[in-house]
Amino acid sequence: MINKQLLNYKIISILGEGGMGTVYLAEHNSFDRKVAVKAIHPHLAKNEEIRKRFNNEAATMARLQHPNIVSLFDYYSDEEGLYLIMEFVEGVELETYLRNLGYPLDEHVTAAFMKQLLNAFSHAHDKGVVHRDIKPANILIAHDGTIKVLDFGIAKIVDGEGNHNLTKTGTQIGTVFYMSPEQVQGKKVDLRSDIYSLGVTFYQMLTAQNPYFNCTTEFDVYSKIVQEQLPNPKSVNPTISDAFVSILNKATAKDPEMRFQTCQEFNQAILKKELQTGSQSNESTIQKNRVNQQSNPKVNAPTSSGLATAALVLGIIGFILCWFPFLNLILGILSFAFGIKGQKDLNGIKTTNSGSAVAGIVLGSITLFVTLIQLFSLLSRF
């Protein structure tokens, strides 16, 4: 495929491969524009059912024009295969982003990401399209922080009569970790199934882990999705606000009637939470945290990490200045206090700053102990 000509585009390199096909990077012959070309494997392209599904993806994407959804530029077929020519986005998948990060996103960044996602799916739902396979691997974060939704390959278009029942009983399509209870059971699903999947993705942003990561079989996952509420996110990340936990629980309610009924409603709940706390996030938060696909992406760590680092630094200085009792006493108290506060706020979150907090507590304690001995010795002379 490399150097192959498709319409006005020349294939340059491979971007990624999957079980059904390969995604290539291509460039326009006349204009300085790069695109992503999704090609079904030739042996699969001969399958009539797969051709229908691929045609469905093209038809679905053509209906969606939104800044947070990857755009379809063209569709092409020949004897060798089927091709979608799409917008090329330089960035990283949300799944990789979270894995490289190693700790949860703070609530400002999470809110900014979720608002973009919910705007994208609100547009899709308004067009009568339900995705049915929402997951972090299908969400791209561009280098400027813009969210882009991928892969409407198994999406369904609601019929003209407004019937939102999109699958036949017994049909199960989607990635199991993010499926709604009705999807797992093979029941008819509608846009509220997407809302459930967005809720599970929301959970993963707030905790840096999938709620079912420790399940050993698909049966275990199915059982938990149908019968059990998602694990308490505070058990993983204690800093999550009660308001966000409440929003998460509503989005992932087992009964579709108890969930948010639209993405707009979901979005409004997040906006209301931000206004109530006086911490309304803005897109500049994301702009300052550029995504680098070649290295670990940087986003805001929990705010207490600064206290942990301060505890360590003050502890070291205090320990060095052990022979200056009064100055040392102040440094020791600050080091101990900052360490306690930093460790409390970082409890349950795996970051190197938790080690700094502990070191600050230890050094602060030693400094205070030495200072008290010095003061006692000084007083005993009088």
Catalytic residues: 133
3-state SS class at 84: strand
In angstroms, how far is the first alpha carbon of the chain from the final one? Answer: 91
Contact 106, 244 (CB under 8 A): no
- Name the β-bridge partners of 152: none
3-state SS class at 193: helix
Contact 353, 346 (CB under 8 A): yes
Our measurement of the distance from residue 372's CA atom to the centroid of its chain's CA atoms, rounded to an integer in Å, reads 49
Contact 152, 64 (CB under 8 A): yes
Contact 10, 29 (CB under 8 A): yes
3-state SS class at 87: strand
- Name the β-bridge partners of 87: 35
Q: Which amino acid is at 317?
A: I
Q: How far apart are the C-alpha atoms of 213 and 18, rounded to whole Å?
A: 22
Alpha helix (H) ranges present in 229-324? Answer: 242-251, 263-277, 283-287, 305-320
